[in-house]
Amino acid sequence: MILFFTPRFLDHLTPAGHPESPERGDVMRAAAQRARDLGIAVRDPREASDAQLLRVHGADHLANLASRRGRPTSIDADTFTSPDSDTVARLAAGAACEAALHALATGEPALALVRPPGHHAERTQAMGFCLYSNVAVAAAAARAAGAARVAVVDIDVHHGNGTQWAFYTDPSVLVVNTHQFPFYPGTGAATEMGHGEGVGATLNVPLEAGATDADHAHVWNTIIDPALVRFHPDLILVSAGFDGHQDDPLGAQRMSTAGYRAWLSAIRARAARTCGGRLAVITEGGYDLQALRACLDATVDVLHAPVAASTAWIGATGPDRRGREAVAALRSHPLLSLEP
């Protein structure tokens, strides 16, 4: 595997007490150092170019963020910039692109430890702590590099609205979201399946608050893994938010570190069997620092270890009604044909 990280990710400053703090960057730096100690190559990313960003964002959006350089600003009640934030956010999007393009070219798994996160940023709007839509920019870069089909699996506790809208009419990019619902940002209903030619290439799996490892395992085994098989992507990208962890202060899910490890192991096994191991994992949320560190270490371990023998998520018992209800809500999705 290869890992992309730069200490510049600590230079995006947020107000005191903000969940998306530079201390998250310290955790990422420690995880990157552990990866080096394991013999994993760690590379500094390049900034995303205007051309890469403009595949997803409007020119006015780039100009707006550039105009905020050199001073602290507030975009909304949750989203802030500091003097270096535009450069740091371009590095985050660039790291996502480099991870995706490396995985696409080599079949070697790649990991980008980045901040600020990206999956809420829309074409013309920064929001939800996010400035550029990192994974969407990476998916568009992979398409431009020759990938016929790209799948994004977003496991953050919040719905990735920015990624969804970037490809809502595009049948070549499958966007899968598992998320607490209803919850910020309010999007991600099971009925949101795409539009026009893109119908069926959006797969939302909304879960009630309190969903456990077993609930997530059930929707992976029953819904998401079969959908990936049917879509048959050339590359899988993971928006890896760890704020569904039971210790996270923002979400209300009950995922464990072991659950995230099993989930990522199953995704990597699917990538090995479906797209030649072409898998890139890019960080999103995760705001309990101890849980974030444990999940990052688990991610490194999964990507560095031999591929699991099975694509099934194993080791979780259940599910309870949350997982069963999520499956029931998606029986009519075009990528699925579930038995009653």
User: Which residues form the catalytic set?
Assistant: 120
Q: What backbone phi and psi angles, to 5 degrees, belong to 326? A: -65, -40
311 with 221: CB under 8 angstroms?
no
Give the pairing of strands 80-81 and 235-240: unpaired
Contact (Cβ atoms closer than 8 angstroms) between residue 215 and residue 320: yes
β-sheet bridge partners, residue 280: 110, 237
Q: How far apart are CA 267 and CA 273, in angstroms?
A: 10
What is the SS3 assignment for the chain? CEEECCHHHHHCCCCCCCCCCHHHHHHHHHHHHHHHHCCCEEECCCCCCHHHHCCCCCHHHHHHHHHCCCCCEECCCCCEECCCHHHHHHHHHHHHHHHHHHHHHHCCCEEECCCCCCCCCCCCCCECCECCCHHHHHHHHHHHCCCCCEEEEECCCCCCHHHHHHCCCCCCEEEEEEEECCCCCCCCCCCCCCCHHHCCCEEEEEECCCCEHHHHHHHHHHHHHHHHHHHCCCEEEEEECCCCECCCCCCCCEECHHHHHHHHHHHHHHHHHHCCCCEEEEECCCCCHHHHHHHHHHHHHHHHCCCCCCCCCCCCCCCCHHHHHHHHCCCCCCCCCCCC
Question: How far is the C-alpha of 67 from the C-alpha of 173, rounded, in Å?
Answer: 32
Q: Whose structure tokens read 């420690």? A: 30
